[in-house]
Structure formats: C-alpha cells, structure tokens
Amino acid sequence: MSSIPESGEINLLSYWDRELLCKFANTAFFRLLNKVPEDVLGTSIKSCLGISYEQHEPYITGVLDGISQSYSSEIHLESGDRHRVEASYYPDVENGRVLGFFAHIIKLTDGASQQLHQYKRIYEIADYLKAEILSEFPSIPHLAERYFLSVSKLMRDFKRVFQTSPYLYYRQQQMEFAQRYLTETGCSKKQISLMLGFSNPANFAVCYKRYLSGLAADRVVRMVRNGVDEQHRIMVNQLPFAVAMVDLEMNYLLVSGQFYADFNFSSQALTGRSLFDFFPGTDAALEAFRAGFVEHGIAFFVRNPIFYVAVGSLELKCLFKVWSVESGKPGGLMIYGLHNFEHPR
C-alpha cells in the first residue's frame, strides 16, 4: 500500500462485491460522479468508470484474486472530465473466498500530482523489485545508482510512500507470489523456496509463516471493521471536527481528516495501529492510560470519559464514548477532540 502525503488530495472510499456492484461509497465519491447515492449504489463499476474501465480492469481482476493493488491512473467521467488518481484496492476475504474489495481512490489536485511526480522513481523502484522476486534482492546501493538517487533519499522516500523498506517490500512481493503459486500449482514449499532463491527452505518457512500470520491479523481487523455500519463510516468521514473510531483492542478503525490535523498526524497512517502508540501526551500519562485499560478494559473509559491533552501550543479536550455493533454489544470507542472548552482548574 502506498501513501502519498495527504495535502491536496480528495479521498474517495467505496466497497464493491464480487459481482462488481457498489455496496458503499462516501460523499466525496458521489460528488465526483455528480450523482446521488441512489444512482450509484447497486450499479456496476463498469458503468461508474465508463470508457476508462479497461485501464483499471487488470487491477480489479488482481484484487478479486486476493492480491492488494496500488497504481496510478486516470478516471474519465460521463461529463468528459478527466481526473488523475492514485488507487488502492484491498480484498475482503472470508474463509479463503474473496467476497469483494475495498477501494481507496485519491483524486489528485495539481499539488498532489506534483507530489506523485516527485515520487515517480520510487514507484519505478517498486515495479523493478516486483519484477526481481525470482532473483536475489538488488542491493540498496545498486538501486540508488540505477535510479540516480542517494541511498538516504531512496530509503526515506520509499518509507514515506510504502511505509516499509525496499527489502521488506521485496520480501512481501515474494510471499504474495508464493501463496498464489502454492495454491495454483500444488508444488511443495521446498520447491518454491528454491525458486525464490532461499538457500535454506527453513528460512522460507519462517518468512512464509510470518506472512500468513500477518494475513490472519488483517482478517481479524476486517471482521471488526465489518461490524462498523455505514452510518458510522459516513459520520466519521463527513464530520468537520476531530473524531476517531477504535475497536475493543484500541486499534484505530476510522479517522476523520480533522483528527489527523488537530493531533498532528498528517504524515501517519493510523488505521490498524494502536491508540496507545499514536496518541498525544507524556510517556507517563500514556502509561497510566494503558494501565487503566489493561486492568479494567473498556469500562476504564466509561468511568473516565474525559482527558485533556496538549498538542504543541493547543490544548484539546478528548471525550471517549462507547459505540455498539448491531447486536448492541460494545464495538469500541469513539474519540472526539474538542476546542474552546472550560478546563477545570
């Protein structure tokens, strides 16, 4: 998954089932198409993308095969408008079957397009690494020389775009290939380990096990997210103030743009990360925060619903409220960041 910096972007969120019918989209998506929800929900992705569908079809096919996709392209609308976009697709997998996929499409403004051009070589490096998964990992100095970048700039920018190092990205591509190849061909893990250049099959086994564990963790997160109903999604996406949604393990599920801005998280992708690792406050305050949760669970926040935190020169009042799934059971917490309040002294 890539993450171009957020300034100058419009984020379009949607979900498509296996028949490529739209089941959910945010307001920005409807606004881009200049249509009301009733005209989009239940319609096919082909009708939404129009003549540009063929450009996106290989990536849609890929995500329906269970492989996440990230790419740059254009969307051509019925109105004749053309928009430069950065698209990411994430498969919705249950019991080994792909039910559909989540789409995160970033409509780039002029400023964001310039940023995309700025990282053009990083995307070229990523494509090169994908093509080299059956060969030995190219060294970082080799990549820097090949793409006319310093080692420090290569490492910094690659981390900024893909949230990982070139080597771990390369290894991730190898494991995705291995999973697909093992499923389709039925070959042994020893055979695939040799194909991928592992000198010791045991090393491959360790890497592959770690990869599958990561997929299992992602499935758990998706299961929790599926309990987040459409009203919650729309509310968090559209509210003009700081609000975030976390699950019962205190991992971020949804985060509003104002939350990112108020808490200075503009360069951090919070979804899936722990509240305790990404929340303002002193180390001592956060440790007390964590200890209270460990001892009392979500009830700690029911009894202590208000916290005051300093972010630079700004002081925010944080209000914690429990949200519930359809069954009525607690699903996690809503966190509201409020300005202009009376601080009790």
Residues 14 and 71 in one domain: yes
Residues 260 and 312 in one domain: yes
The CA distance from 70 to 123, in Å, is 10
Least confident of 150-164, 173-187, 213-227, 326-340: 213-227
The order of strands in the sheet holding 252-255 is 252-255, 242-247, 330-338, 314-324, 306-311
CB atoms within 10 A of CB 139: 12
Residues 249 and 200 in one domain: no
Tell me the pLDDT tens digit for each residue of 54-90: 888 888 998 898 888 877 777 777 666 777 778 888 8
Whether 331 maps to a domain, the answer reads: yes
C-alpha triplet 323, 327, 328: angle, nearest 5°: 40
Average the pLDDT over 177-192 and give the result.
85
Alpha helices in the chain (DSSP H): 27-33, 37-40, 45-49, 53-64, 110-118, 120-131, 140-146, 151-162, 166-185, 189-195, 201-226, 230-238, 257-262, 283-296, 299-303
Q: Among 207, 223, 239, which residue terminates a domain?
A: 223
Residue ranges making up the domain that contains 49:
9-116
Residues 156 and 236 in one domain: no
Least confident of 71-75, 135-139, 277-281: 277-281
Do 63 and 18 touch, CB atoms closer than 8 A?
no
Residue 154 in this model has a pLDDT that exceeds 90:
yes
Q: What whole-number percentage of the chain has pLDDT above 90?
A: 12
Q: What pairs with residue 85 in β-bridges?
A: 73, 107
More confident residue, 304 or 99: 99
Least confident of 109-123, 141-155, 197-211, 257-271: 109-123
pLDDT at 261: 79
Residues 192 and 207 in one domain: yes
Give the CATH number for residue 53: 3.30.450.20
Q: With cut-offs at 50, 70 and 90, classify the pLDDT of residue 9.
A: low
Give the C-alpha distances (Å, rounded to integers) separating 180 from 96, 186, 200, 212.
12, 10, 21, 12
Q: What is the pTM of this model?
A: 0.41
Give the CATH number for residue 181: 1.10.10.60
Residues 211 and 145 in one domain: yes
Do 93 and 85 touch, CB atoms closer than 8 A?
no
The CA distance from 339 to 318, in Å, is 9
Residues 27 and 109 in one domain: yes
Q: Among 223, 239, 262, which residue terminates a domain?
A: 223
pLDDT at 340: 47
Whether 345 maps to a domain, the answer reads: no
Residues 252 and 289 in one domain: yes
